[in-house]
Each structure stands twice: as structure tokens, then as C-alpha cells.
Chain A
Amino acid sequence: MHLLNRQLLFVTGKGGVGKTTVAAAIAQLAAQHGRRTLVCEMDAKGALAAAFDCSPFPYQPRQIDSNLFGMAMNTEDSLREYLKLFVRIPFVGRIGPLARTFDFVADAAPGVKEILAIGKLCYEVRERNYDLVVVDAEASGHIVSQIGAPRVISELVQVGLVREQTKWMLDILEDPERTGLITVTTPEEMPVNETIELLDRVRERTKVDLAGVVVNRVLPALFGTREMAVFDQLSTPAAQTLMTRAAGRNVTAVVDAARMNEARRRVGVGHLERLRGAVPADTPMLYIPELFTRAVGRRVVSQIVDALSDELI
């Protein structure tokens, strides 16, 4: 269970690959194994809370299950907390307008928002408030800006409190024993391309360790080689005649569906091989099968927990 032994896991991936569900499942799995776990949603859209069938998470962590707590990141709350903890601002009430104007500078000055978010997460790790913090992080296009922010800031800011602050954050973020990045993908062309590019960028621009690559929605192989030969022959006219006689003419749609599944799967296998070639040999790759389910929320999460636990434990 090496993966779950870390203290801070960022889960990223291209939009639509199931990043949030996988983050939820990793947190759930850790909690089930007795680790006090905090799961944090970074973009506050409520998708993570929905994965647990919960109403949107607040900034202050809320217990959602045994050993499991959920929160949603909010930069303004984080700034407020930060100022209270580290700068010891006496009048917290007066920070409201400050935080609003702060938004403008945060948009323009690099990494300020990111560092407040990352700072909060690192703080929870440093204070050992939880055994594990799982972050449903930014999508793969932005994750490097997010986890790389403390390094950027530490290069830009030469002195001051922020400079000191980035140091302990970097200690946590860049320690592979404590922190890891998990990227989620599906066996499709664009998500795999983006994952490969992301791995390069993470290596170039951050020192955060790649803890694992999760491949979601892997189509099952229907046949072995010999069965496949039989299946291929089902399209011959002789076979079609027999099958139509036995099951009606719509049987062609049934065979086509299986063929489509097989074609998609084969394309996927090619992309996965490419991915495997780009992922360091010692990085675990975890596969989650396509679930063919209509379920949403917790039921899906628990099915993914099962799949992950087969792979991990």
C-alpha cells in the first residue's frame, strides 16, 4: 500500500477522465484502511461532494464518513486563516475588503492564489491533522501552475514572510515519502497525449514525485486469440444466415456492438502501450475497468474502490 502511505496526494487528469471519482475512491479506500483522511475539492464546483452524495463541502472540513473528511478550497478563507495564523492580524473583520481587492492582484501576480491553496493543504499535513490529504486537484492543463507555485514564488520573492513560508511547503511537496502526484487518464488518444506531456512538464518544472498513473474505463477484452478468430468469422455470409435464422435480423446490430467494443479496445491498447513507454518503469500503473453502469455518486465510487483495492492491496 505504498501509495496510501504518503501524506499528500494530488489527483489530476484531463477533464472528463474521471479525476474526481478516482480522487474520491482513493480517499475512501484510505479511510477504510484506518487512515484519517481529508479529501479536498480545489475548484469548488461541487463535483467531489456529489461523488459522495453530499451537499457542497464548506471550507472547514466536514466529516463525511468514518475517518473521512471533506472540504472545498477557497482562497479567501485560506488568506483569512493564513493572516490569522502567521501574520497575527488583530482585526480579522477588516480583511474582507482586503481579500476582495486581493483577488485582482492574485489574478495578475503569479502564483499567489495557488500558493494560498497549496499552503493550506501543506499546513494540514505539517500539523498532522490528518494521516492523508487527497486533493481533487486542477485538471492536467493547470496542475503544474498549482503544485509548482511555491517554487515559482520562492524564486521570485527573495525575502519576507512568504519566502520563509515557501520553504517548509517545498520541504513537504518535494519529499517523495510524503507527497505524490497521481494522474488519471482513459485509454484514449488525447487523454494519453496530455498525460505524457504532463509527465514531462512535471519533471521539468517541479520536484513533485509521480506516485502513480491511473487508467480509468479500460474496456475488457472479450475474447482470447482463438475465440477472436471465431468472432471474426461471425461476419461471413454463412454465419450471418445461421444467426439471423436463430435470433432475427437485428442480430447484426448485436455483433456490430461487440465489434465496436473490440475496435475501441484495440485502439485503447495501442495508446496504453504508448503511455507505458512514457511512464517511468518504477511508477505503478493502476487499471480500472469500464463499469458499464448507470449509477452515479457513492455507488460508482465504491465500485472504483473495489477495483483500486484489487490493484493496490
Chain B
Amino acid sequence: MPAASTHSGIADLLASKEMIIVCGSGGVGKTTIAASLAAEAAVRIGGRVLVLTVDPARRLANALGLQAFGNSETQIPLDAFAGAGVTPRGELWAAMLDTKAGWDELIARHAPDDVLRDTVLANPLYQNITGRFVQSHDYIAMERLHEIHASGRYDLVIIDTPPSRNALDILDAPGRMMEFFGSRLLRWLTVPYRSRLFTAASKPFYQVADRVLGSRFLQDIAEFFVLFQTMETGFVERAREVERLLSDPRTAFLVVSTLEAAPAYEAAYLAEALRERHLPLGGIVLNRTMPSALREPAAEKAATQLRKAAQTGSLAADLGSVLDADPQMVRGVLTEVADRFHDIAMVAAREAERRSELERLSPFTVAAPSLDHDINDLRSLLQLGDHLWS
């Protein structure tokens, strides 16, 4: 059963959950939404709130009143809240998710001894896996969330997920980690290193692999996996706990999207995927939405009337004399304004359709308007949060 979510809104959700996993397509403002919700929760609900972000943007750090923040958890100074004119009930903390450091910590934790730890850390394959290849980010994100939650240091953790090749990677990462350790391939790969005895079953595989990859590379892989296998128990156990965390009743997913085509499509896909996996979708946050006034038929009518008045009536001439401007130019401006309205209203209508599609998939949706200024301090971050709260 999917954890039936009866949350009527953001306030309710943040007050009743301990872990919020913020996901969605890249570029929709996930990081900003995560930070603004964390700030709101610290101000309005209280307790210790942590926002864990993957975005190293200096601007977000500045918006939180910090010079920068890194892998370690940093408290947002009270001055920053005072500057925004509020006194928070709780504390707001922020930390960045550093995949490389996260992996190194994992290895250090699971390695049976220092020598093995250092050998793994120095292995070129290991460095490549952690540094360059992206799927591991998802696992580390979930792992870190687990670690922080288990520590009991925070009442609420809001985690901003890494941009994924596929939105589902974050959900599948722990399972994949377990699958990897259990795979026959891993056993095959580690055979030649441990004994030079090739079983009948693995022989054809090696013949192919050897020709394709070269025996040296194969040996590197084998060495790496033999080392890795010594950490199997720890890793698998941990991955299982991390996976359980995803469906924990204290966890909820929050999907962030704009109402543009691609992100909205991704959000719908993600909402469906959560349902299929019986994972709790808390709600959908729609960012940068257009004002609903644009879709009023009355406004549409006014645009048509404005065009007519500009073209045939005396409006252009009247405005020209009031504004001390060339009536011809005024006519041009009014016509452009009227014509443009239909374009913009069309975009707004397109967005409204997507919104109702997403509303069908989610316990609740909240919307933040498109802002014409950047978010560069705690005040503007909280203003954004206020839109989501109401």
C-alpha cells in the first residue's frame, strides 16, 4: 500500500515528516525550493532543520547568509533571519552533498582495515567510479540522508536530489547496489584474481572479456572487485537500510516542476513511478507559474477591445495628448500590447492544462509565481516560501 497521504498542504507535510526528498527535472528550481521550504520550516514549525543540497551555487549560500558551505553541516546565522525581519522558532542548517567525499567515507566505514581502505582509495577504477560517473551520486545522496537521519541530529531533513539521467535512478540506486554485490558477474570477475582456476561456466566469458578489454584491465577490475567484496556485508546491509528509508512512513517525496512541457512530463512520470513503487508522494510544487488573471475570458475580451479602440477609436489620439506622445506611435504600442496578450495567454493556457494533469496525480499541488527578481537573500527565499505555505 502506498502510504496514503492526507496532507492538505506543505505546512502539514513538513510538520509531520522527518525526511523530504525533493526531486524533479533539472532547472526547475529544486534547490531553491528545497532551501526556501527548509527556511520556512525553521521559522514557522521550529526544531532543527537541515537542507542538504547538491548545488554548490555560491548564490544560494549567500542567500542563506553564508559565504559558502561544504560537506559539513553549517548553521545559518540568526543575523540572516534578523535581516529578513523574522525570528525563527528553530534552527536552520545547510550542507552540500559531495559525492567524492561521501564515497570515501563509505569506504572508510566498511573497509576491514586501513591498508585495504588505502588500496581501494588509490585504485584508478575507484577514482573513476566516484569522480566521473554519475549514477553513484544517487546512492550517495540516499546514503547521506540515511546517515543524518539515523544520527537523530535533526527533526527535519530536506534533501535536494542530484540531477539524474533518469528521474528513477534515485529510487533504484540502493537496489542496484545490492544487486551488484549479489551478481554472478562480480563473482566471475573476482575468480582469476583469487585462483587461476577457470570454471567451465566462466571460461567463455573470460575469453570474450579478455579479447575485448585486455587482460591487464581485467585484472585491475578483478583486483578492485576483490577488495570491494570484502566490504560486501557492510555495503549490502547498509543499502538495504537505505532502501527501507525510501518507503519509511517518516519519508515523503516532493516533486518540483515548472509548467513547461519537458519538466511537467518528467514530473508526471515521476509521480506515476512513485505510485507504482508504493513510495509516498507528498505533493507537487509548481514553480514559476503564470498569474491566473491571464486566463480570464474577461482579460481576453479586454485585449480585443483594446486593439479595436487603438485601431479605430480615439484612444490613441487621447492618450497621445495626455502622454505628450505621437498618436501614431501610441497606436503601435497599444496594438502590440493587445496582440501580445493572446500569445502570453496561450502560454498560460498551456500551463493550466499541464497543471490540472499534475493535480490529478498528487495529494496536493502548490504553486509559486514567476518572480521577476533573483533570489539573493533570506528575505526573498522566505517570500518564495510564503507562496508555497498558503
A residues contacting B by CB (< 8 A) are 14-18, 43, 83, 87, 89, 94, 98, 101-102, 104-105, 107-111, 138-139, 141-142, 145, 148, 152, 156-163, 188-191, 193-194, 222-223, 226-227, 229-231, 233-234, 236, 238-239, 242-243, 246-251, 253-258, 260-261, 263-264, 267, 292-294, 296
A102–B186 CA distance with the chains assembled, in angstroms: 10
Q: Say whether A160 contacts B322, CB under 8 Å.
A: no
State which of B28, B217, B260, B308 has its C-beta within 8 Å of the C-beta of A160: B217
A162–B336 CA distance with the chains assembled, in angstroms: 61
B341: A residues at CB distance < 8 A? 254, 257-258
Q: How many Å from the CB of B137 to the closest CB on chain A? A: 9
Q: Which residue of A lies closest to B220 (CB)?
A: A156
Q: How many Å from the CB of A72 to the closest CB on chain B? A: 14
Secondary structure of the B contact surface, majority rule: helix
State the interface size on chain B (CB cutoff 8 A): 86
8 residue pairs A–B, Cβ–Cβ below 8 Å: A14-B26, A15-B266, A110-B128, A152-B128, A160-B215, A236-B323, A246-B306, A294-B350
B148 at the interface (CB under 8 A from A): no
B25: A residues at CB distance < 8 A? 15-16
State which of A43, A158, A191 has its C-beta within 8 Å of the C-beta of B217: A158
Q: How many Å from the CB of B389 to the closest CB on chain A? A: 23
Q: How many Å from the CB of A263 to the closest CB on chain B? A: 4
By Cβ-Cβ distance, the 10 closest A-B pairs, closest first, are A160-B214, A16-B262, A246-B309, A250-B302, A110-B128, A247-B305, A292-B343, A253-B299, A101-B185, A247-B306
B329: A residues at CB distance < 8 A? 226-227, 230
State which of A15, A102, A105 has its C-beta within 8 Å of the C-beta of B27: A15
Q: Which of B27, B28, B57, B350 has the most CB of A within 10 A?
A: B27
Q: Say whether A248 contacts B305, CB under 8 Å.
A: yes
Q: Say whether A254 contacts B337, CB under 8 Å.
A: yes
Q: Say whether B214 contacts A248, CB under 8 Å.
A: no
Q: Say whether A141 contacts B306, CB under 8 Å.
A: no
B306: A residues at CB distance < 8 A? 243, 246-247, 251, 254
State which of B210, B215, B323, B343 has its C-beta within 8 Å of the C-beta of A233: B323
B291: A residues at CB distance < 8 A? 256, 260
B205 at the interface (CB under 8 A from A): yes
